[in-house]
Structure 1
Amino acid sequence: MRDQPPSTSDRQAELKDFPRSRRARVKPEDVGLPSSGRRRVPGLRREELAQLAGVSFTYYARLEQGYSDGISTSVLDAVARALRLTGEEHGHLLQLAQPTRAGSPEPDVEQVRPGVRNLLDALGAPGIVVGRRRNVLGWNRLATAVFGDLSHLPPHQHNWARQVFLCPATRERFVDLGQRSGTSPAPPGRSPGRSAVKRSNPAWPWRPPGLILRQSTAEPRRVR
């Protein structure tokens, strides 16, 4: 007699294998890490992936052991970004880790359309594509020179609001930040239209929820 239904056992087995196989696809040099010579297995190490995602190593290790109890959706989202999952793969990870969400909508994964990506690369000026929650989805070489290189940061820090409010180097680039900081920060210039970003869940509400950021030396601040 089995202690667990076969479906639960199968789900746990796949939960072990799925993030592990996707982790093997990510090369250290792809995320700005040194390759450090020959590795026994391809891809990132567990501790590197956890650090890249900005999550606890213990949480991520438990995930690859097939245990997802107590792991929040935000942690799973951060892991999905670090693993560079597609929208479909992201949804599959959530269903494996949180089977009670099986009937829920596919996660809202924003991607830059290929045509916009090409335009961004060919643009003769700094260009940044920002999503609805101020996540920085794409940038070109000139934007790196002006705003700094986000590629060296963990994926969960690729957020314009986070950079403007919590990154001293970014704050120094804005002479009138004190007048702007009470409202939702946006990169200089015109924001791209909705069609510039490809979303897996078009029914997701356009207006982003309020975001609270806490500075180390300041009171909580709400971004509208």
Structure 2
Amino acid sequence: MTPQYPRSDERRRMVEQQIEARGITDPRVLAAMRDVPRHLFIPSPCDQDAYADTPLPIGNNQTISQPYIVALMTGLLHPKATDTVLEIGAGSGYQAAILSALVRKVITIERIKEVAARAKANLEAVHADNVTIVLGDGTLGYPPAAPYNGIIITAATPEIPGPLKTQIAEGGRLVAPVGDRILQELVVLERHGDRFTEERHGGVRFVPLIGEHGWEEN
């Protein structure tokens, strides 16, 4: 049974007005967005605006994406209950919590120790027991658990990191914001042997992906 958290009416309105209204119809994704308490992943006082149609700061110059973008990127993975998914950029843990309700296992990589610790506490608070947090350079992926049915990059990358492409399972998908530090385009890769098909899903803005195969830290 899914735990019941406060502010359920706000989550219901968020899904109806921000997500369904923009064409996202996957019932499993919508249910996860209604169930997972976004406000628990956002520090005070910004948690008051947790269900607004906007990204919000979570500390350490990081942000939590607006609800619509979380739902869109999640849906583009085509998540199945048997999947193992790799997330690059744990942030506050919210995206991983959404994925944890939809797939068998989630591994999320975070490079900032303090951010990883907060994500761990947040995920424990919502009983997302199938999520593992790894501290490290997300652009290298996590080979010990590869291949992955889905990989989601939650920071802006100048190109898809080569190590991540090699860790996608046959038929698996990778979703990432690709572009410069200011503006990116949401790109989806799907693997077919040594070949990758590509889809593009419009402009987005994310904080930069820092790492060996991403941006250098300023």
| TM-score where L is the length of structure 1 | 0.30
> Which of structures 1 and 2 has the larger relative contact order (alpha carbons within 8 angstroms, sep 6+)?
1
Larger helix share, 1 or 2: 1
| TM-score where L is the length of structure 2 | 0.31
Q: Which has the larger radius of gyration?
A: 1
